[in-house]
Amino acid sequence: MRRVPSTERPAAPRATERLAPDPAGTARAAELLAAGRLVAFPTETVYGLGADGTDPTAVAALYEAKERPRFNPLIAHLPDTEGARREGRLDRDAERLARAFWPGPLTLVVPLGPASRVCDLARAGLGSVALRVPSHPLARAILLQAARPIVAPSANQSGRVSPTRAGHVLADLDGRIAAILDGGPTEVGLESTIVACLEGTPRLLRPGGVAREAIEAALGRPLAGPDTDPGRPLAPGGLLSHYAPRARVRPGGDRLLPGEAALLFGPAGLAGSGEAAMILNLSPAGDMAEAAANLFGHLRALDASGAPVIVVAPIPKHGLGEAINDRLARAAAAR
Ligand code: TXA
Ligand code: MG
């Protein structure tokens, strides 16, 4: 039988390039993004999977790589507030929040600007656009050089726990994306807080890396809650079974059965720890920021232990605790 020359072989999955966290790495990331390819990079919240937000073909490839439902719109990332103003209309409240929290872990959903370049597919056809100016220096370097809005959902397979390390990204997406820039573990560990400034009172669409209390202090008034009308979900990404490990998650548990795994918070232990498969503590000192940074990594590690159940000790709900409890409730929701 004739040997098939390499150029005629069926397309094998292409290797994912590993990029270094240096100027050559960010330049290569920007170059690949501008060419319509998919690149994972660190932000201060979680790793994002970037694509050219102006290019519907690149955005379609992104949905495909993540196996993400198409109706779920994406966040456009810009290097600065000026860039964000070109894509969406920031009202007085949005400007106030941008001044207080950008660059940083806040996303603003605002009316689409007349000169916006973010394509319809990236917005799932909505008349609004989600904008974020990340503070991570590697992300900002890539965004500056790419010189276009980069859409970036968390760099995990849709429905799985968000990645806070390059290794998490590769576990889900190796061979399916062009490149990954490894910038070490992310600092915040939770996705950005999403606030809609569309009409009237700004609305909290997703709790995240900026606590509600800090946003309300900057606004000078309380945020409206998420829209509870199930027929009109304002943050379509708020699917209940998001952030799901393979194991069953049991929040608010007070004792362990043999072979179960546990996620603790603070100094208290759980009854039955002696026969646990694995026990991790989000923050033995009870520090919320430390707990947020550890959340997704610990969930992945406990899941990898093979335990059928992850029991989660109670976690206070104030500050970043609102977002931590939100993610745990989603992880616990039946699939
Ligand atoms: O921290 C983050 O925000 C990370 C990093 C990578 O930047 N990104 C992230 O993206 O969490 P993603 O795709 O996992 O979440 C985007 C959320 C979804 O819940 C989506 O429904 C919502 O933003 N969203 C996007 N555009 C929207 C719009 N026009 N109106 C309402 N919600 C929108
Ligand atoms: Mg996500």
91 alpha-carbon distance from chain centroid: 25
Residue 3 binned pLDDT confidence (cut-offs 50, 70, 90): very low
Examine the pLDDT at 131 and tell me if it is beyond 90: yes
Which residue, among 123, 87, 139, 130, has the nearest Cα to 107 in the 3D structure?
130
User: What tens digit of pLDDT does each residue of 243-281 get?
Assistant: 778 999 999 888 899 999 999 999 999 998 889 999 999
pTM of the model: 0.88
Q: Which ligand is nearest to the CA of 237?
A: 1
Q: Report how far ligand 1's centroid is from the alpha carbon of 277 (Å).
A: 34
Residue of the nearest CA to atom 6 in ligand 1? 48
Examine the pLDDT at 5 and tell me if it is beyond 80: no
**Index of the ligand 1 atom closest to the CA of residue 192:** 1
Give the pLDDT confidence score for residue 254 in this predicted structure. Answer: 83
Q: State the distance between the two ends of the chain, measured CA to CA, in whole angstroms.
A: 49
Instruction: Find the mean pLDDT for residues 31-36.
Output: 98
Give the pLDDT confidence score for residue 160 in this predicted structure. Answer: 87
Which residue, among 32, 20, 28, 12, has the nearest Cα to 166 in the 3D structure?
20
Specify whether the CB–CB gap between 209 and 197 falls below 8 A: no
Examine the pLDDT at 1 and tell me if it is beyond 60: no
Which residue, among 226, 230, 247, has the nearest Cα to 323 in the 3D structure?
226
Q: Record the tokens describing residue 245, joined without a space.
A: 């490990």
